[in-house]
Amino acid sequence: MDAAKALAVAFGIVVDDTVPAGPSAKPKPIAHDLEYEAEQHYAAHWSALCDEVHEAHAVLERLHALGQADWDNPIFVSALRLCSAADERLDAIKGYDVFGKIQMYREGMMVHAR
């Protein structure tokens, strides 16, 4: 520390000894950081919903192939409901602009567990 002070004096640099040395506080996030996080959250949510639709369609196709695709089959009804709910959610969020994505991110909107 003494050597650093001597160099500072030699080069005419004023050193403020009242500021503690060490890592500085984490900088506040900037708008770009928030937009990036919101976009990542939106993409993960979109992907999860697409996965739900795909899985529900696969179940429906298997049931159809087995001749079990009827309203008396609770698995069939559940798969239809899951597919419908995920499709509705995809339709609702597909046109989100950056502000909608940020609001979605802030609200912590996630896919509901099955």
Domain ranges of the chain: 27-107
Which residue bears the tokens 């429906």?
Answer: 60
> In the chain, how long is the greatest CA-to-CA distance?
89
User: In whole angstroms, what is the distance from residue 78 CA to residue 68 CA?
Assistant: 13
Give the pLDDT score at 32: 80
Total residues belonging to the chain: 114
pLDDT digits (tens, 9 = 90+) for 78-92: 999 999 999 999 998
pTM for the model: 0.64
Q: How far is CA 78 from CA 13, 42, 45, 71, 81, in A?
A: 72, 25, 21, 10, 5
Give the pLDDT score at 15: 73
**The pLDDT of residue 113 is above 80:** no
* Selection from 65, 69, 96 nearest residue 80 by Cα: 69
